[in-house]
Structure 1
Amino acid sequence: MNSKHAHILLVEDDPVDVATTKRAFQAKGVENPIHVAPNGKVALDMLLGRGMTALSPIPQIILLDLNLPEMGGLEFLKELRKNPQLKACSVFVMTGQGSSQDLLEAYDLNVAGYIVKPLQYSSFVEKIGTLQSFWNLIELPN
């Protein structure tokens, strides 16, 4: 699958961070469809179609906050990696506060990258631009 057309799932509970991420995507010309889930449980429900129609196609890129209500990011990652249909998704952690413990655990769960969100919007836009460049270089599984 060409990553330029891959759907993206943003797992983020803060409406300001959701809006900032969408604005940064627009600023960098990222046109991939973006779906939003407020926590890991809802994200899994969306991916698996539990209680709703499953996202189709399955988003191959997941941007994941770690500090989430109900089901946190690391718990979500553990469940995602257990599922044969979902384990190939490329997950990028995007968190406001990074700890070395979270970083190690995230990489143990095969994240594609771990990004600490910068405080300044311009720095965040640049990080999104770098992600877009990466997505445009790689091929994702179907």
Structure 2
Amino acid sequence: MKALNILLIEDDMIEVMKFNRTISSLQLNHKITEANNGEEALKLLEKKDDLPDIILLDLNMPKISGIEFLNILKNDDILKYIPTIILTTSSNQKDLLECYKIGIAGYVLKPLKYEDYTSKIEKVLAYWSINELKQI
């Protein structure tokens, strides 16, 4: 499995720690870059160097929401090609439909149990590590 360059956009530090713990426990050698909100993520992305292979995005964030971030991302001629997977606790159908309308690559609900979370993250990353990803 190839190592992915992952941008994790998450404002909850406990969730960030949980994600990193999962990557570590699964012994995956993906490169994780963290952004605490959409604004911080856009600053990282605007340089357009060392772009991520995939973005994992939480929806409920301060400053700009996940959906606002997606709209900005998908209106950029280069960034719009980065597969973006929503990683959220929101099972709101309106959010789900809006995200797919904007153009996401997946919508994953964060389970409460750590074992279920680990299993989901493992499957999501395994899927993307066998995909042909656009070299931007």
Q: TM-score category by the smaller chain?
A: over 0.9
SS of 1:29's equivalent in the other structure is coil
State the AA in 1 paired with 2:85. Answer: F
Question: Which residue of structure 1 aligns with residue 18 of structure 2?
Answer: 20
Question: Which residue of structure 2 aligns with residue 29 of structure 1?
Answer: 27
State the AA in 1 paired with 2:32. Answer: I
SS of 1:98's equivalent in the other structure is coil
Q: Which runs of 5+ in 1 are unaligned?
A: none
2:56 and 2:86 in contact (8 A); partners too: yes
Q: Which runs of 5+ in 2 are unaligned?
A: none
What is the identity percentage for the equivalent residue pairs of Structure 1 and Structure 2?
37
- 2:109 paired with 1:116: yes
Question: Which residue of structure 2 aligns with residue 99 of structure 1?
Answer: 92
- 2:36 paired with 1:38: yes
SS of 2:116's equivalent in the other structure is helix
What are the equivalent positions in structure 2 for 1:1-142 lying under 5 Å apart? 4-49=2-47, 56-142=49-135
Alignment deviations for residues 66-117 of structure 1 (CA, whole Å, 9 cap, x no partner): 0000011000000000011100001000001220000001111111110110
| Equivalent residue pairs, number | 135
SS of 2:18's equivalent in the other structure is helix
SS of 1:36's equivalent in the other structure is strand
SS of 1:115's equivalent in the other structure is strand
State the AA in 1 paired with 2:110. Answer: K
TM-score, normalization by structure 2: 0.94
State the AA in 1 paired with 2:96. Answer: L
Alignment deviations for residues 13-72 of structure 1 (CA, whole Å, 9 cap, x no partner): 0000000011111122221110111111110111003xxxx6x31002000000000011
SS of 2:23's equivalent in the other structure is helix
SS of 2:81's equivalent in the other structure is coil
